[in-house]
Amino acid sequence: METRINLFEKGGNALKAMHSLGVYLAKSTVEQELLNLVYFRVSQINGCAFCLDMHAKDLRAEGETEQRLYLLNAWREAAAFYTDRERAALNWAEAVTKINGGEVPDEIYNQARQQFTELELIDLTMAISTINSYNRINIAFRPVVGTYTVGQFAVKV
């Protein structure tokens, strides 16, 4: 595979702009474990191996079970493994990521609004947009997968 630009060495200034979103989201009332679950699911959809490795390691370090990680790609069929709040977040994340038909359906929005305050839903949407951006950046530059260590990019609040 062809060597590409090392984003972590050459793109530090560009990544600082993205980092500020991470600082904001670290202060969100949306649970960090839930955000990491959403990051993992969106990374599955986008096929970002670097992010999948990173978020799987972070989720395990937070105490996430292997079973829930294995079933996340089929969370609808394994609904008993996820709370109503988690299912609403995953449904919202998929709808915002896939953008089918140019909008998020009302039923998905209404499900999310039952579980999240207005500010939480804004934060969740920002988190989804952020991980989608990171996925695309990592897919473009192909950082070496498997090199991430837990907390390597942890945000200090």
Domains in the chain, CATH or no CATH each: 29-141 (1.20.1290.10)
What pTM was computed for the model? Answer: 0.91
Q: Answer for the pair 89, 37: CB distance below 8 angstroms, yes or no.
A: yes
What would the pLDDT profile of 65-97 be if each residue is shown by its tens digit?
999 999 999 999 999 999 999 999 999 999 999
What would the pLDDT profile of 123-136 be if each residue is shown by its tens digit?
999 999 999 999 99
| Best CA proximity match to 6, nearest among 95, 153, 138 | 138
Quote the crossing angle between the two packed helices 106-115 and 84-98, to the nearest 10°. 140
11 pLDDT band, cuts 50/70/90, is: confident
| Joined tokens for residue 156 | 């200090």
| Joined tokens for residue 110 | 């209404």
